[in-house]
Chains A and B, each alone.
Chain A
Amino acid sequence: MRLALLGVVAVVQFGLCPRTLFGYAHRPMWLALTAFAALGLVTIACAIWVLRREPLPTAVIAVGTVVALAASVAASAALPPDEHIGAGDWPLGLVGWHLLLLLLDRVPLLLTALAAHLTSSVAQFFLAGGTDRGRVGTAAIIVFGAVTLQLAVVVFTRVLRRSTAQAVAAAAERDRQAIRVAVAEQWEQGQRAVFAEQLGEVLPLLAGLADGELDPRAAGTRQRCALAATQLRRLFAENDDVPDPLVHEVSACVDVAERRGLDVSLAVSGAAVDVPADVRRDLTGPVATTLSAARTRARVSVLRTDDEVRVAVVSDAGTGLAAASSAHVEVECGVYGEHTRMEARWRRTS
């Protein structure tokens, strides 16, 4: 838009104005020529930034505006007396275009400067004795024409800017949506991978039972079934939206064990804290293993203090429990008399 405006200014100034400038007898001629040259310099100064597609520096705008307004006054003063706001009044339109080029982004300032420029032209028109009714009418039409065209450019620019901004916003929104879709797809894939990983325990078990390779009466098979059932329930609980997900998942494990006829007591202490999903998995995994190995009773406890979360199962599971610590969660397992203790411990500070 600014580039087009620069073209208009250049064409008007260097194409159309010289003929008017030299076609009429200015008094004094040097003043008119100086004003024309000053306006020319403003055009060239603007061109330096406009051609590089950079915004005009504030200093250039300030100096340019002052120079343009001064040139308007000077050039009008040098006009032949009967050519004010007439065919010979070249600064009337030209200075308007300059102001437009300089102040397109600052509409209130632009309107003020244009008003100042027109006021000065009109004032000089009356000072030069333009009181004839016919001349006033013609002058009004010329001023109206020049102002309307230039204001139309301002309005047009605003509209164009607004639609550009809307288009940019729409494009950004579309990009955001695309990213969201990509993230959701990735999350879904991740979930599938996690489910497949966890179901990995279940599928060979079901296959073995279906093929008759595994004996459903064998204690080992029953324990594997118990473990698979507990893991599945824990997995389902993992995606529930609840205020205290850790206790929710532990309760799910306890629920399966109770259905199996186990006498389980669950105790929770301390206020709920945020536990990341992978840490929860590491904390509740050993609970599922121990509960599925327990024979008749178990005590499950969740303890949350300032700096750690401890999930423990004390049961009659006997020996042979394997417990693997993970990167975040320390798992400890031991047999003390008739009690088997398993504790998963997450230090929140680490």
Chain B
Amino acid sequence: MAADELSAVVVDDHPAIRAGVIHWLSSGTPPIRVAAAGDDPKVAWVGDGAEADVVILDLHLGGPAPALGELRRLVQAGRHVVVYSMRSDDETALQCLELGALSYLTKAEGAEHLLQATRIAALGRAYTPPSLAGALAGDRSASRPALSARETEVLVEWFQSESKDFVAQRLGISLSTVNTHLEHIRVKYAMSGRQAPTKAALVARAIQDGLVRLEDL
């Protein structure tokens, strides 16, 4: 086991999904080690699971209500959480971001997005998959942060095409600029609403990277 190998813990009540996610993670390049997996959020708090870099959390663990309380507790403990949900409704997605999840993926989004989200979350950074971009672009809540026209356009194009190459080509910008825009948008969201350790870390990192200035806060 390499020291810099990433590790993840998978919390999902469905054995087939668990097995699939474990397979995707361990067969990625480079592979991501699955420290623990189970249908109970406890696996993320005890044993190897407590040490894992990323928590991949299913929102619907058998109960009727989404496990938003679990998400909040994990985020408060400073864990990097990627929510992996059956539901694709925008409201839940935005709620998870508000609580401090680093990414929200729907199960319709495949291995590629999950691997990227996990790798990026391990670094404490946010990953915005296309469906989440759609939710952000369609956000009509009063508390939403003000996005520039270009940022909105990046969100919309990414949602519409699922291809960053396409977004870059269409808007005449480089791939890294597309990523910077997406990151900037997430920092804006992290700066609005309730406080969470992961959100504070996102903002701190954005300041270090020169993505936002201190006076913007």
Contacts and interface: CB of A to CB of B under 8 A. Distances in A.
B140 A269 contact: no
B138 A304 contact: yes
B165 interface: yes
A314 B135 CA distance: 18
A204 interface: no
A339 B131 contact: no
A271 interface: yes
A108 to B, nearest CB: 58
B159 interface: yes
B138 A305 contact: yes
Interface in A254-285: 265, 267-271
Contacts of A339: 161, 163, 166, 169
A157 B206 CA distance: 88
Contact of B159 (A269, A271, A306, A334): A269
A301 B156 CA distance: 10
Contacts, number: 66
Interface in A325-349: 334, 336-337, 339, 341, 343
Interface in B118-151: 130-131, 134-135, 137-138, 140
Contact of A314 (B88, B140, B166): B166
A295 interface: no
A269 B162 contact: no
B194 interface: no
A312 B161 CA distance: 9
B108 A265 contact: yes
Given A303-B134, A336-B166, A341-B166, A269 B90 contact: yes
Interface in B135-190: 135, 137-138, 140, 156, 159-163, 165-166, 169-170
A270 B138 contact: yes
Interface residues of B, number: 20
A303 B161 contact: no
Nearest to B170: A336
Secondary structure dominating the interface of A: strand
A265 B162 contact: yes
Interface in A277-310: 299, 301, 303-306, 310
Contact of B160 (A270, A271, A304, A314): A314
Contacts of A337: 165-166, 169
Interface residues of A, number: 21
B138 A269 contact: yes
Q: Which of B161, B162, B163, B170 has the most CB of A within 10 A?
A: B161
Interface string A161-183: 00000000000000000000000
Contact of B140 (A265, A301, A305): A305
A301 B90 contact: no
Contacts of B156: 303, 310
B169 A336 contact: yes
Contacts of B135: 269
Contacts of B169: 336-337, 339
B140 A271 contact: yes
B116 to A, nearest CB: 17
Contacts of B130: 267
A301 B134 contact: yes
A299 B131 CA distance: 12
B91 to A, nearest CB: 9
Most buried by B among A267, A301, A306, A341: A267
Given A303-B156, A304-B138, A337-B169, A270 B162 contact: no
Nearest to A343: B160
Given A303-B137, A336-B170, 10 more contacts: A267-B131, A267-B159, A269-B131, A270-B90, A270-B134, A299-B161, A303-B159, A312-B161, A314-B163, A337-B166
Interface of A: 265, 267-271, 299, 301, 303-306, 310, 312, 314, 334, 336-337, 339, 341, 343
Shortest beta-carbon contacts, A-B, top 7: A270-B138, A269-B134, A269-B138, A312-B160, A314-B161, A336-B169, A301-B160
13 contacts: A265-B162, A267-B159, A268-B134, A301-B134, A310-B160, A314-B160, A334-B170, A336-B166, A336-B170, A339-B161, A341-B161, A341-B170, A343-B160
